[in-house]
Amino acid sequence: MPSSRTKLGNAGEAIARRHLETLGYTLREANYRCRWGEVDLVMERDGELVFVEVRTKRGGAFGTPEESVTAAKRRRLTATAYHYLQEHDLDVPFRIDLVAIAMNLRGNVERVTHLENVVTGEDAAAE
């Protein structure tokens, strides 16, 4: 049986996917995993691949979803994105986005925020 954290994450990914699809994105793959890490959604729009990290938080006691993406997570996202491109023999423009979902304690969505290009070259290179 999935934990409450897993259920919250799965619900957030479904919300993020629907939100992005209303903006014209197409799902290419969900929960892509490799030795470097995992990316929640691989979406595509206008010939550009978008690797999407989804962060879902219930209540505000432990910070915002945006604040939960650490430097180490940004490095893993970058490595995973490059691995995906290499594995699929793709040479296309790409970026890494964040969809932050804030829910109240009852589980109702209060906010969905889509932030583009959350990982920069400096983030990826930082140790």
- Give CA–CA dist 64/75, Å, rounded: 20
pLDDT digits (tens, 9 = 90+) for 86-105: 999 999 999 999 999 998 88
Structure tokens at 125: 């290179």
| pLDDT value for 70 | 83
Structure tokens at 101: 């979902």
pLDDT at 81 over 70: yes
Backbone torsions φ then ψ of 92, nearest 5 degrees = -130, 160
Residue closest to 39 by CA, chosen among 96, 101, 90: 96
Residues in the chain: 127
pLDDT digits (tens, 9 = 90+) for 28-54: 999 999 999 999 999 999 999 999 999
pLDDT digits (tens, 9 = 90+) for 3-33: 777 888 888 999 999 999 999 999 999 999 9
Q: Rounded to a whole number, what is the distance in angstroms from the first to the last CA of the chain?
A: 37
